[in-house]
Each structure stands twice: as C-alpha cells, then as structure tokens.
Amino acid sequence: MPPHSDGVGAALQIDGSAVCLKAMFRLPVPDDLHLHLRQGPHLANYARDTAAQFGRALVMPNTRPPISGPAALREYRRQIVTACSAYAFEPLMSFKLAPDHDAQAVHALADAGAVAAKYYPRGATTNSEDGIEDLRTLYPAIEALQERDVILCLHGEDPSAFCLSRETAFLPRLEELVNRFPRLRIVLEHVSTADAVRVVRTLPQTVGATITAHHLVLTLDDLIGDLLNPHHFCKPVVKTPDDRNALREAATSGDRRFFFGSDSAPHRRADKECACGCAGVYTAPVAIAVLAGVFELDCPGAGDAEQPLWVRRLRAFLCENGAAFYRLPPARGELVLAPEEWLVPAAYHDVVPLMAAKRLRWRASRV
Ligand SMILES: [Zn+2]
C-alpha cells in the first residue's frame, strides 16, 4: 500500500491500468509570517504568487522608500489588496523602525493597523543602510510597542561580526530586550543557526522565531561548495549541516515557538547574476511543496488515525503556531496538498526560484 493512504482526503487515482490509492491532505490555508513583496510594477505578480498559496502574510517594510509612517503603510496595504483581489488574502502590515521613531510615531502606526515593527540593524541586509545603529536609542518606541501589543520582529544579526557569526553575536541583544520588555512579543526572524534555536528555547513564551523553507534545505555548500550559486545567497546566509539539522529539528518538533516565515525575497535575474548580487531567495511559489518534502522525510512516525505525524507537524508549523503567536483568527479556506510530482519553472517573472527546474513531490493549492 502506498504511504499515507490513511490520510484525510485519500483519493482514488488511476495510473495507467492500475488503480492505486494516493493520499492528499487538507490543511487550513497557511500564513506566511515574513514576506517581501517589493514595490512598483512587479508587486502584483509577487503578491499573487503568495496569495495563490497563503491566506495571510506579514509584509516586510524594507521597500525604498521604507514603510515607516501611517500613510505609506495604508497605501502599501491598498496596493497589495488591489493586486490580490481575486483571492481571499489579507496582508498583515509591518513598519520599519526608523532612528527618529518615538512613542508618538508608534501609536500613529498602531492606529493605522500595523501588527508588527521590524528592526533592521544598519547595513545588515537589503535596503538597510538607513537601519538602526544602536537599538537602545529606540527604547521609548519599543516601550510603546509593548504598550500597544505590537510585535517586534528582529533581523537578528550584528553586521560588525564575521558573516557566519552575525546571528550568534546578536543573541545577547535579544536576551537584553526580553529582560527589559517582559510583556513585549518578539519574533527572531529567519533563524539560521543551532545557537539561535537553543537560545529561543531558553526564553519565555513571549519570544517566537520564524524559519524559512530555504534554511531547512540549503547549507553553505549549496551556495559556494561547488560553483557559486547566487540564487542561494540570502541574509542571514545559509550555514553548516549542523545548523540546518537544528532548524529542521525545531521546525518539525511541534514546538509552538517556531513557525513559518518564508522570507521569500524576489530579485530579478540580472540583480542576482552580477558582480554585486542581491541577497534573497524567491520561495513563494514552492515553499509549501518544499516543506512537505522535508516534514515527510523527517517525521516518519505514524501519527493518529486521521493524518500521519508529518502532516500534523507541518500543520502546526505552517498553519497553527504562527497564527497563535500573532493571535490571528482561524484561517478561512483550505489548502490541498497532493502527491503530484511537478517541475518547478526555471523562472517566475524573471526571478529564479528555489528549486528552479527541479522536481518536487508535493503540490499545494488553495481550495
Ligand atoms: Zn526578510
């Protein structure tokens, strides 16, 4: 009997003359709690790629100019909603913390509907030249975040450290924030190291962490181990097999502190395949299929009568843990995960995705 034939939604399919039972699974439509959609003429394509698979996404504010004020936040949300009008899709808006933000600025952004504030250390990643030099100068604004229950999302890297050590070097600052703002909900974004996983596990439940799909499948070998692959270059950079294994263990463990944020970050081919290539991996169209493959491999246990263990753990990571941390209402709609091999296109809108021209075993679609 094929694997997972006991799953909800098991369907009879005919392969040639043989009739075989293959399972497909239904999940609540997932949330992507870390997403880049850019601005301008390409925004609509990127937003629709996400809306085809996700019901909500936390949209990152490091556009140029950044989303740092109420008017810009409202306008950016309007553009995204317009682009995705064919889908039931809700953008969750974040704003970029700016050096001149005070408590009043935070209150105005909270009133405009911001659910999260994003901290970028100066120079850490794409469009962060205007980031924060010293987080402590923003304590009045962070106090206001805590008061308004707006989540603080951290790009947790210290740009002054060696590139592979930047996340680890940042972790004491996370602990300092937790101690100083005990009621503030904080998300350490796109964790990339075993060190970060370990520290997050020692912190109170006010702290969560997002994990991307690409950090679960890539190591530094996939970036520079053979010929340079600029489409695997991102910040924080992918790291060692031990780090990747720690991330996979955290993601597939069911631990509610870890949830999905794709950090899907489209850059057009010419901006990646050049002398100063941009950081970012485009994963929106493939992330769920990639995750399904990872969880199926890493969670071979039997699970309950309704769904295998890997599907239940995937549902927790993709649909439940993040929504619970963000206190979002239940998702409206479902996602079907079908055991259907498909070839990932070489490019979407001139952006080379993760797994370009490779075959994936699972196909995800909203219903
Ligand atoms: Zn990001």
Q: Which segment of 15-24, 185-194, 301-310 scores lowest on mean pLDDT?
A: 15-24
For the chain, count helices (H), then strands (E).
Answer: 13, 15
pLDDT of res. 318: 98
pLDDT of res. 8: 32
Measured in Å, residue 351 CA sits from the centre of ligand 1 at 17
- Confirm whether 263 is a catalytic residue: yes
pLDDT of res. 304: 67
Measured in Å, residue 62 CA sits from the centre of ligand 1 at 8
Across the range 251-267, mean pLDDT stands at 98
Residue type, 187: V
Backbone phi and psi for residue 104, each to the nearest 5 degrees, phi listed first: -60, -40
Measured in Å, residue 214 CA sits from the centre of ligand 1 at 12
Measured in Å, residue 279 CA sits from the centre of ligand 1 at 10
pLDDT of res. 307: 86
338-364: pLDDT as tens digits: 999 999 999 999 999 999 999 999 999
Across the range 236-257, mean pLDDT stands at 98
User: What number of other Cβ atoms are within 10 A of residue 213's Cβ?
Assistant: 28
Asked whether the predicted pLDDT for residue 296 surpasses 50, the reply is: yes
Measured in Å, residue 20 CA sits from the centre of ligand 1 at 42
Instruction: pLDDT band for 303, please (50, 70, 90 cuts).
Output: low
128-142: pLDDT as tens digits: 777 777 888 999 999
Measured in Å, residue 212 CA sits from the centre of ligand 1 at 10
Q: Which residues line ion ligand 1, judged by CB < 5 Å?
A: 263
DSSP 95-127: EE--TT--HHHHHHHHHTT--EEEE-BTTSSTT
Measured in Å, residue 102 CA sits from the centre of ligand 1 at 24
- What average pLDDT is seen over the chain? 92
162-185: pLDDT as tens digits: 999 999 999 999 999 999 999 999
pLDDT of res. 15: 41
Question: Of 263, 271, 298, 304, which is the active-site residue?
Answer: 263
Across the range 215-230, mean pLDDT stands at 97
Asked whether the predicted pLDDT for residue 306 surpasses 90, the reply is: no
pTM of the model: 0.92
**Strand ranges, E, within the chain:** 11-15, 18-22, 25-28, 31-35, 56-59, 90-96, 116-119, 151-154, 186-188, 207-211, 258-260, 334-338, 342-343, 359-360, 363-366
Across the range 90-96, mean pLDDT stands at 98
Instruction: pLDDT band for 22, please (50, 70, 90 cuts).
Output: low
What letter would DSSP give residue 84? T
For the chain, which domains are there?
29-366 (3.20.20.140)
Across the range 155-165, mean pLDDT stands at 95
pLDDT of res. 9: 31
What's the token pair of residue 362? 């699972």
